[in-house]
Amino acid sequence: MLVARRADRLNALASELGGAHVIAIDLTEAGAPERIASEVRARHGALHLLVNNAGAAWRGYFADGGWENVERHMRLDFEAPVRLTEALLPLLRESVEGAPGRVAIVNVASTAARVARPRSGSYSAAKFALAGWSDALYAEEARHGVHVGLVLPGFIRTEGFPARELLASVRTRWLVSEPEHVAEAIVATGPGGKAERYVPRGYWFAAAARILAPALVRRALAGEGFTTSTGGEQS
């Protein structure tokens, strides 16, 4: 079953896949999770894999966008997956009996769920929340037989992010991956039972550096110049 806002894109994908039920709906709408859960139960009576991939980013400084920009990120990137999972969790648990070890939830977060960059704080706030909630949900649902995996993509070449500048340089080309690799990571962290997967895999280094050398990472992300405690400039 395919769920997103644009019916034309969903129908094209369903045709390419050889048949899939399409639900064209905005996940932030009131009642959307309940409608989806009702259709899944009515059509299939079981659910073995839920992939929460809804998300968007609107870059900007917090001083300019304020809480309004934080809130719209939270509504789509965090609340929508949480609300949909809440609506489908009973069916996921029920489905374990007929498919032990095969029922999973995969939350697609971002490398921004581990390392926050300037002008992306609102996006990171929502993705950090999604990652933290995923860890807790795994611990809660493991005894019910429902696995929870996490995928943390970096720069992925898509319609909304063609990544032309990054791909133009040999030095930065490695930073960009393809949607197919994200799909492979979803399979690995869903039916495959892995805890989490970075795409590209090398992005784990940034997350590790954030833990091992937080001051260094902060200075690097803030740019070459930064203000010291004495008010001077350093580079």
Catalogue the active-site residues: 123
Give whole-number Cα distances, 95 to 49, 58, 99, 101, 178, in Å: 10, 37, 7, 10, 32
Q: How far apart are CA 62 and CA 76, in angstroms?
A: 18
Give the burial string for 71-89 (b: 16+ CB within 10 Å, else e): ebbbebbbbbbbbbbebbb
Comparing CA positions, the residue from 108, 110, 107, 113 lying closest to residue 88 is: 107
Report angle CA 179, 129, 110 to the nearest 5 degrees: 20
Report angle CA 147, 151, 154 to the nearest 5 degrees: 175
Comparing CA positions, the residue from 55, 89, 92, 53 lying closest to residue 186 is: 53
Q: How far apart are CA 81 and CA 56, in angstroms?
A: 13
SS3 of 174, please? Answer: helix
How distant is the alpha carbon of residue 73 from its chain centre?
A: 12
170 CB neighbour count, 10 Å cutoff: 7
